Chains A and B, each alone.
Chain A
Amino acid sequence: MKLREIAAVLNATISCGAEKLDEEVEMGYSSDLMSDVLTLDTDNLVLITGLVNLQAIRTAEMADIRAIVFVRNKKVNQSMVKLAHENGMCLLESPYSLFKSSGLLFQAGLKPIY
């Protein structure tokens, strides 16, 4: 699934990495717990989370995750955008809940990791 399609499905705004929207991701993982994200062996995935802080970006950096969707209408801050930009990441912001976002993406064909 292209990041562009993910943004459309989630009615999301792009806060970083608009030039990455044609990149493909195969899987999605929804979690507010970065400890769990760090245990994943997969990296071609989009992280869907309501945890809006610098450590969400750091976690994605270490786990080689290229795109994050922040749900529940949370807004990223400047230092998050800066760090994401340095790491070539795409950040999206969706007004939908974690449940609704995950459901819509699953329905649209994004695969679960497990």
Chain B
Amino acid sequence: MKLTFAIQGGDFIHAGHPSSEVKKVLKQLNIDNKIIKNVVIALYEAEVNVVAHAYSGTVNVEIDENKITILVTDEGPGIPDIDLAMKPGYSTASKSVQEMGFGAGMGLPNIKKNTDEMWLETEVGKGTKVKMLNYFS
């Protein structure tokens, strides 16, 4: 099964819609609740990253029998120092993002924590790709 969603930079009203849809699908597939929570928290964090930092983005979800793979691609500023961005507490989020309740520098580390595998590819001035994989058992 494949699902695709668009994300708009700065749009905090619709942030979380893709995660919500993925949650519904996984529930229908009777996936373990703990695994669903891991998947949707990781995706929601990735969505918030795009909304907070990038101009636009796309979520591509692929679900098969034993795993879910999610690719979040954005057009944005990219990440100059990945090691620094992966460090809990390091944030470049604006004040307006912090006022929304985010931007504490926990996004990328929390994606790593909630996924079985995570890949990050970024190019400064172009954008970032985050690929997340969770197994169902």
Contacts and interface: CB of A to CB of B under 8 A. Distances in A.
A107 interface: no
B113 A39 contact: yes
Q: Interface centre among B101, B104, B107, by most A CB within 10 Å?
A: B101
Interface residues of B, number: 24
Contact of A62 (B13, B41, B100, B106): B41
A51 B37 contact: no
B33 A58 contact: no
A98 interface: no
A24 interface: no
Given A34-B102, A53-B101, A63 B16 contact: no
B33 A64 contact: yes
Contacts of B100: 34, 53, 55
7 contacts: A34-B101, A35-B110, A38-B106, A39-B106, A39-B110, A39-B113, A55-B101
Interface of A: 32-36, 38-39, 43, 51, 53-56, 58-59, 61-64, 79
